């Protein structure tokens, strides 16, 4: 997997254009603030189903990325199972790097 996307995630976090935490991400999906959701590949099945179902319902794209430790270290935090990108520019760049 290309690791230069982690730099973009870190930049988005420092620009306050992303959110973490399951409840916050679901709120951002419901209010159409989330433009892209990055989901760790070692997330539990129930959490993954909850996030992907919510993304599909509100037509928010999501991408499965590296494990929770790598995703968390990209934003300078402990393990994170998901990150929602709230800016269209960051989301477009991440999609071009990951897809």
Contact (Cβ atoms closer than 8 angstroms) between residue 38 and residue 9: yes
- pLDDT tens per residue, range 8-45: 888 889 999 999 888 899 999 999 999 999 998 888 89
Contact (Cβ atoms closer than 8 angstroms) between residue 94 and residue 13: no
Query: Residue 38: beta bridge partners?
Result: 63, 83
The fold of the 4-98 domain, in CATH, is 60s Ribosomal Protein L30; Chain: A; (3.30.1330)
Q: pTM above 0.75?
A: yes
Contact (Cβ atoms closer than 8 angstroms) between residue 88 and residue 61: no
pLDDT of 1 reads 47
- Residue boundaries of the structural domains of the chain: 4-98
Distance CA 45, CA 16 (A): 28
- pLDDT tens per residue, range 58-99: 999 999 888 888 888 888 888 888 999 999 998 998 888 888
């Amino acid at each position: 997997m290309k690791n230069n996307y982690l730099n973009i995630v870190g930049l988005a976090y420092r620009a306050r254009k992303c959110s973490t935490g399951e409840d916050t991400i679901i709120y951002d999906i419901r209010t159409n603030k989330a433009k892209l959701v990055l989901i760790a590949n070692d997330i539990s099945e129930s959490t993954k189903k909850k996030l992907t179902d919510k993304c599909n319902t509100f037509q928010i794209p999501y991408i499965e990325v590296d494990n929770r430790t790598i995703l968390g270290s990209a934003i300078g935090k402990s393990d994170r199972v998901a990150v929602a990108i709230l800016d269209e520019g960051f989301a477009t760049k991440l999609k071009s790097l990951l897809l």
